[in-house]
Amino acid sequence: MKFSDKLLARLRRAESICVLTGAGISAESGVPTFRGGDGLWKKFKPEELANFDAFIRNPDVVWEWYAYRKKVIQEVVPNPAHVALAELEKLVTDFTLVTQNVDNLHRRAGSMRVLELHGNIERSYCISCRKKFPDVKPPDNRTAPRCDTCGGLIRPDVVWFGELLPQDVFAEAEKAAARCDLFLCIGTSAVVYPAAMLPSTALNHGAYLVEINAEYTDLSSRAHESLLGKAGTIVPAIVQALHTLRNPTP
Ligand code: BJW
Ligand code: ZN
């Protein structure tokens, strides 16, 4: 795969790289994205499932949806894009991986440090006493699980619309975006805030902004480059290029 001279120069000298990933990076593993074509929001309405009021109104329906998605995620494996980012972490001293995904595939691919902005579907907690449940299952995959300590409703440890992101995690992501010289935005429609602010933060601080996506997005007009195609092909090629540029054969 051929990259522009500008991107190659940036890859050669980048001292700090920040990556933001979204659902598109897991699409080739078989995890449905949210928006577009076969996206989850075509069949399920976010306002009925991905907010706290919907959960209180109908916890069983929300849990049925999460039980289904947990099952999908457990049955898939990380793809070459996840693996390449785990490799990139080893090649760049100041590297930050920020993800909006809750699917844990970055960690399963070997990434050691992942800033999870929207939580993690494998974890849950009781909304009454806050007890954590590392891997709870609804009793029959249809009924919301209850806390064994206080009887309260257990919810997935994910961030729904109208909820604050984990503030310490977001603050770290903002700092990484502000100090990086190369920002890669992979497989996200970049419409959900505040995650979608991170590319702008990077741009405002002088970073080179590269988008990798199957199609143009809200971000494309502001990115220095939009590389259109599959993350599973483009991301490993970028990491290979960086490796070759920094370890030239004599
Ligand atoms: C490929 C590919 C391949 C496919 N290779 N690419 C108006 C303006 C601004 C903000 C707001 C507003 N109104 C409300 C808000 C705030 C709201 C928001 O942003 N809404 C917008 C949608 C308008 N944000 C929030 O509420 C956030 N909290 C917040 O703001 O707190 C402050 C506050 C509190 C109280 C009151 C007011 C303010 C919280 C957001 C939480 C988002 N949660 C979800 C669900 C997580 C749990 C779960 O998974 O169930 O997070 S929503 C969903 O969207 C999920 C994702 O992480 C997130 C982003 O989606 P993503 O990853 O970009 O996926 P897609 O599907 O959109 O895109 C996939 C892309 O991949 C596409 O572009 C494809 O082309 C591409 N692709 N295959 C490369 N092979
Ligand atoms: Zn409890």
For residue range 105-158, what is the model confidence (pLDDT) as tens digits? 999 999 999 999 999 999 999 999 999 999 887 777 678 999 999 999 999 999
Kindly report the average pLDDT of the chain as a whole number: 94
Q: Are residues 85 and 49 located together in one domain of the fold?
A: no
Q: Are residues 199 and 224 located together in one domain of the fold?
A: yes
Neighbouring-strand partners of residue 20: 98, 185
Active site residue 118: yes
What percent of the chain lies above the pLDDT cut of 70? 99
188 touches ligand 1 (CB under 6 Å): yes
- With contact defined as beta carbons under 8 Å apart, do 120 and 101 qualify? no
Q: Considering the domain boundaries, does residue 123 fall inside one? A: no
Neighbouring-strand partners of residue 156: 124
CA distance 73 to 27: 11
**CA of 147, nearest ligand number:** 2
33 touches ligand 1 (CB under 6 Å): yes
How many angstroms is it from 154 CA to the middle of ligand 2?
Answer: 7
The CATH number of residue 67's host domain is 3.30.1600.10
How many angstroms is it from 101 CA to the middle of ligand 2?
Answer: 26
Q: Are residues 59 and 151 located together in one domain of the fold?
A: yes
Q: Considering the domain boundaries, does residue 240 fall inside one? A: yes
Q: Are residues 108 and 70 located together in one domain of the fold?
A: no
Residues 6+ apart with CB under 8 A from 123: 132, 133, 134, 135, 156, 157
Q: Considering the domain boundaries, does residue 220 fall inside one? A: yes
Tell me what pLDDT residue 18 has: 98
> How many alpha carbons fall within 13 Å on the CB side of residue 53?
5
CA distance 83 to 108: 9
Tell me what pLDDT residue 191 has: 94
The CATH number of residue 15's host domain is 3.40.50.1220
209 touches ligand 1 (CB under 6 Å): no
- Work out which ligand 1 atom sits closest to the CA atom of 66: 50
What percent of the chain lies above the pLDDT cut of 90? 86
Q: Considering the domain boundaries, does residue 179 fall inside one? A: yes
Tell me what pLDDT residue 36 has: 75
Residues 6+ apart with CB under 8 A from 45: none
pLDDT over 70 at 47, yes or no:
no
**CA of 73, nearest ligand number:** 1
Condensed to tens digits (0 to 9), the pLDDT of residues 91-116 reads 999 999 999 999 999 999 999 999 99
How many angstroms is it from 192 CA to the middle of ligand 1?
Answer: 3
What is the tally of structural domains in the chain?
2
Q: Are residues 197 and 236 located together in one domain of the fold?
A: yes
Tell me what pLDDT residue 123 has: 96
166 touches ligand 1 (CB under 6 Å): no
More confident residue, 164 or 48: 164
Range of the domain at 64: 39-75+134-158
Q: Are residues 211 and 234 located together in one domain of the fold?
A: yes
Q: Are residues 242 and 221 located together in one domain of the fold?
A: yes
- Work out which ligand 1 atom sits closest to the CA atom of 21: 62
Mean pLDDT of 189-193: 95
pLDDT over 80 at 39, yes or no:
no
Q: Are residues 173 and 113 located together in one domain of the fold?
A: yes
Residues 6+ apart with CB under 8 A from 89: 95, 97, 111, 112, 113
Condensed to tens digits (0 to 9), the pLDDT of residues 4-29 reads 999 999 999 999 999 999 999 999 99
Tell me what pLDDT residue 44 has: 73
Q: Considering the domain boundaries, does residue 126 fall inside one? A: no
Identify the residue whose C-alpha is closest to ligand 1 atom 22: 192
Q: Are residues 113 and 180 located together in one domain of the fold?
A: yes
Report the candidate in 188, 192, 194 with the shortest Cα–Cα distance to residue 209.
188
CA distance 167 to 175: 12
Q: Are residues 237 and 144 located together in one domain of the fold?
A: no
- Work out which ligand 1 atom sits closest to the CA atom of 33: 66
Longest Cα pair distance anywhere in the chain, in angstroms?
66
pTM above 0.75, yes or no: yes
Mean pLDDT of 70-91: 97
- Taking CA atoms, 249 is separated from 90, 120, 188, 244, in Å, by 19, 41, 35, 8
Q: Are residues 240 and 146 located together in one domain of the fold?
A: no
Mean pLDDT of 174-187: 98
Which of 126, 158, 190 is the C-terminal boundary of a domain? 158
